[in-house]
Chain A
Amino acid sequence: MRTEIKNHFFDVIIIGSGVSGSVMAYELGKKGLNCLMLEAGEFFSRSNFPKKEIDGNSKLYWSGGAEFNQTANLALLRPKVVGGGSIVNQALLDRFDQNAWDDFKRNSGVNFFDQDKMSEWYQKAEQGVNQEVIPAEFRNKNAQIFADGFKANGFECAPLNRAQKNCRYSEGNDCIECLSGCKIDSKQSMLITYIKESLKQGLKLLSKFEVDQIEDKGDKVLVHGRHYKSQRKSFSCRKLVLAAGAIGNSKLLQNSNWKLPAIGHHFYTHPQFMVLGEFKEDILAHKGPFQAMKSADAGFRKKGFKLENVFAPPVGLSMLFKGFGHEHMQLMKRIKKMACIEVAVRDTQPGKISFKKGKLKIIKTLNEEDKKRRNAGIEAIEKIFSSQGAVAIHQGNLPIGLHLMGGCRIGQDDRNSVVNPEFQLHNSKNIFVADSSIFPSAPGINPSLTIMALSKKAAQGMVL
């Protein structure tokens, strides 16, 4: 009995095991702190990641696959699994450009939002995971159409840099299978990098534990929640790290009656619109490293969008199309002839997350500027497909949001921000946040690497 008492009070509890939570756990554990990580999702590893799309959707995401905004025209994909977004993403690692940092700085007044000042943290973040550029010889036809179409239209594109380690394409591995977790431990997810190392350092990890309330008592922070379907339990700690993402953090703070007016505001998602180009010949976009190229066009950046070389598995594709019945079945049979590019909008219209009486309500719409950006992107995609001889173009019916950012934005003023430049909640020095929820605006660039860099910085500054 006696020897266990030390464990009852944690130095730090980390809520969420995604990119931010994992990096923080690692850095804090390295300092010798006794950490507990609480994750609502299940624990999977390479040998038991879901193999069927049905389970990949229902077991790795909140609400059985997708959540919707209030107007039901944006599907929000919010991972719920040990490792968070790093389990289901495509492991794209990009640094923010000066434009994104300037925008961040303007919207927050935070001084270190600067390419030079963040460079040290980016370097540290990049050291933690292995990166590879997809070799040109393994590009599939979808990627080829992307590259050729860009060239034909004078757009700039570049091969993709991904956090992976030997996908063994020559053996016929198709990365699309790893959207529900990489079965060969190539994708450098948090699970096999920072979480693995943290567990070795002594991190306590509790999966299937959903936190629903937190309280700062001054000398300690209490964390209340439920382990799977059992009784409500509580933990206490000296410092708390919120790393449950934009929606998770906002929901938790609102449910805990946190008194900061900006909680849940300034929510961005980089709304993504997939467009399929149908060709006469087979494209087989699902083969190999299905995402190999990225747009690197300064004009696109200026106009506020980027194009991505993407594809989706069958259920995901079926949801893209309008219609049902025979019309639908005919389309599905022609999937093999389809290439796909999506436009990701750097959204300017802030959304709002609210959680009242146990119900999540997300308002997220597109303003005229956002629509203009989307339309410009779609126009570019149409040009690309046409230049490559597409016979038809099918615009996706269901936009998705999977870069969930904001809701607890960082800033100087507690009237319009939630987190201070030291990554603490304005009204609680014991609670730290460094995940994408602190983003003050939409950067228009994949957030993963920046979350890692910010988390490294936040962990370093944390003093018990």
Chain B
Amino acid sequence: MISTHFSKLQLRGLNRLGDVVIPGDHDFPSFSSLKLDDHVDRILDHMNDDDRSGLKIVMSLFAFLPKFFIFFILWITEKAEGESFLASQLRLVNTGLKGVIFTLYYSNLNSKSEIIHQVMEWDANINDYPDEGDEMQQYTDEALSGESQKYFDTIMDAHKIREISRNAEPKLRSLSIDSRLRYISRLKEVILNKREMIIDRIQADNGKSRTDALVSEIFGVLDHLAWLEKYAAKALADEKVPTPVSLLGKSSKIYYEPMGTVLIISPWNYPFYQAIVPITASFVAGNAVIYKPSEVTPLTGLIEELLQAADFQPSWVQVAYGEGKMGADLIDQRPDKIFFTGSVATGKKIMAQASQYLIPVELELGGKDPSIVFEDANLERAVRGVLWGALTCTGQSCTSVEQVYVHESIYDKFKKMLLGEVSKIRQGTDSNGEGEIGRMTAHSQTKIVAEHLQDALDKGASLLFGDSWDRETDLIPPLVLENLQKNMLMVQEETFGPIVPLQKFSSEQELIDELNESKYGLSASIWSADKQRCDRVSRALKTGNVSINNVMLTEGNHNLPFGGVKDSGIGRYKGVHGLRAFCHSKSVLIDGNSSKCEVNWFPYTEKKYKSFDKMMVSLFSGGIGNFVKFALTGVGLESYSDKIAKK
């Protein structure tokens, strides 16, 4: 017995009802003898939810009721006359029950039931001339929707989405920070429970290794949510700030208020992390969110499902699928803030479009992050750190190590150790955690890696590891190179692949000068035993984030803001700074409701001018004497102003 709607029990009920309606005789077989319940979904699939639920209840009941009772119920429903509510309901039940049974019984659904039409001498037939073909067969539902997919997905109306978010804004604004955080706690629980399923979905869309997905995406997200639970309320609480003595008697505060609707446009490299982290930060700050995932890794339906399971209302966070056009359409709908993570080129386009409407933007763009290994570094640690930094997420992180500078005195040793380690790395989108680097997510990126590699080799670089790659497949092995030159694409541009380009350096200052010439400035890592040197270099580098004796780890602490300088982006997110980036800070100055008139208000007189000047000079000249002078002049000025104002 097969039905996706009826349980075994309900199917039993159906057969029992069937035998009351059609008990069978010497010509007609009984209903249950024909095993027609296999076909009941052919009716149920097309029914209204309400009708189907009603039938389910009745069938469950019929599974147990004695047959004479079923007979009695049917008999009563047959007797319904007139148009009273009760009669109408009974008639509906009668038609519904008999309808299901008759439909199954008389539709000639299996070989056993052929006898029914034979007894009735029902032999209606049509010769359908299959040889003549069917011209219309080319237009199936699938073909029609496939054809329309082009204009279908991208046309999801940005206007409508914005309207929904606008309507949600007042509700979100009115939710207290504590209640917003309750949603965050529920979401954390949902993600924790569903982590395996989420990892499956991430791997399906993105292709990264299972451990990469677990560590960077799930752990990272949970850590962020836990940070919100702990720090967000404080970060967003009204802040009292000092009021200067010249404004004596008044107080000052900053309110961190929602901006309205935040548009988040995310890339494909961390499809889950880059969804949940900005979504929840914006939400906690009291904003409605429109989230546009990359069309390469949409995780279709996943974000909505998780948020729904955590009781978020659909209008609070809407997921807008589509390509670049969708993002552009959404910007035209004037969100109150745009948070974009992705390439420099797209970042520039977004900022240009946003400038038309003066929408504030936050741009987290690419990088060409260096790792600098000094001669006194613990080499074993530095080698492993550099390799992980270059290869995690198959080198497709904005903060991936893309240049490795090793001091010339230890270069050969470092190289040897690194080549020993790199050969142990296993590739593939594994299902059990036994694999280090997955496939490239987008084939277009694979092509860029191949181009950068060829360019480097053409210009004299040598490939120390990764020669096995055919330049086509998305499963790229780690590519270790040396003899790199400044004019190579691999040195100039973001490669976004599993590359480890090794370069020698001799002078710290020269290296810093060289690195600071780069158009990028996202993050850097420094490996050295000398704390002073580490501090010196970290300050000298024009970059957004520095990890000392570690790599990509500033992101591991959610108290630290994240962001780049130069072409690597604008603004900071995460940490208190990051949370407030989704707020408007509103300044409030509070004074008493007195009848007093302020000294700087009209009318102006020569006497007022002179006293004001005297007060200002004494206030900013310093010393106790001057302060006393300031106080006395101030008091005099105040009473004078009040007097002339009320004259």
Contacts and interface: CB of A to CB of B under 8 A. Distances in A.
Interface of A: 1, 4-5, 7-8, 36, 42-43, 45-48, 52-55, 57-59, 63-66, 68, 70-73, 75, 168, 171-174, 176-178, 183-185, 191-192, 196, 199, 204-208, 217, 222, 224, 227-228, 231, 233-236, 282, 284, 286-287, 313-315, 318-319, 322-326, 328-329, 332-333, 335-336, 359, 365, 398
Smallest CB-CB A-B distances: 9 pairs: A234-B157, A45-B136, A314-B106, A54-B107, A58-B46, A64-B46, A47-B134, A7-B151, A318-B102
Contact of B119 (A206, A234, A333, A365): A333
Contacts of A66: 99
B88 A8 contact: no
Given A8-B154, A192-B136, A206-B144, A322 B78 contact: yes
A196 B135 CA distance: 9
B120 A335 contact: yes
Interface in B67-111: 71, 74, 78, 83, 87-89, 91-92, 95, 98-99, 102-109
B47 interface: yes
Nearest to B125: A174
Given A1-B324, A8-B155, A328-B22, A335 B122 contact: yes
B444 interface: no
Contacts of B128: 46-47, 183-184
Contacts of B145: 206-208, 227-228
Contacts of B137: 45, 47-48
Interface string B53-73: 000000000000000000100
Contact of B124 (A64, A224, A287, A326): A287
A454 to B, nearest CB: 26
Contact of A173 (B43, B91, B119, B125): B125
Contact of B136 (A57, A196, A332): A196
Contact of B21 (A36, A63, A185, A324): A324
Interface string B13-41: 00000001111110110000000000100
For the complex, would chain B's binding face be called helix, strand, loop or mixed by DSSP majority? helix
B300 to A, nearest CB: 8
A204 B155 contact: no
B103 A57 contact: yes
Nearest to B25: A329
Contacts of A58: 42-43, 45-47
Interface string B120-135: 1110111111100011
B144 A177 contact: no
Given A64-B47, A196-B136, A222 B160 contact: yes
Given A36-B148, A318-B98, 12 more contacts: A1-B325, A64-B47, A71-B87, A72-B88, A75-B95, A173-B125, A204-B151, A207-B144, A227-B152, A233-B153, A234-B155, A313-B122
B166 interface: no
A282 B121 CA distance: 10
Contacts of A333: 27-28, 119-120
A183 B22 CA distance: 31
A227 B23 CA distance: 42
25 contacts: A5-B325, A45-B135, A52-B107, A53-B108, A54-B43, A54-B104, A55-B107, A64-B47, A65-B99, A72-B88, A72-B89, A172-B127, A184-B126, A184-B129, A196-B136, A206-B144, A217-B159, A231-B156, A231-B321, A233-B155, A233-B156, A324-B20, A324-B21, A325-B22, A359-B50
B83 A64 contact: no
A208 B142 CA distance: 10
A282 B47 CA distance: 37
A318 B124 CA distance: 16
A332 to B, nearest CB: 6
Interface string B306-328: 00000000000000010111000
Contacts of B109: 52, 54
Contact of B91 (A55, A72, A199, A217): A72
A246 B152 CA distance: 27
A97 B155 CA distance: 46
B95 A234 contact: no
A325 B28 CA distance: 11
B286 to A, nearest CB: 25
Given A4-B154, A42-B141, A336-B121, A54 B103 contact: yes
B601 interface: no
Given A315-B102, A319-B95, A54 B152 contact: no
A363 B142 CA distance: 37
Nearest to A9: B155
B48 interface: yes
Most interface-central of A36, A72, A178, A199 (chain B CB within 10 A): A72
B20 A46 contact: no
Contact of A205 (B144, B151, B321): B144
B139 interface: yes
B124 to A, nearest CB: 4
Given A172-B125, A177-B124, A329 B28 contact: yes
Nearest to B71: A325
A107 to B, nearest CB: 26
A205 B51 CA distance: 30
B535 interface: no
Given A1-B325, A234-B156, A333-B120, A64 B43 contact: yes
Nearest to A215: B160
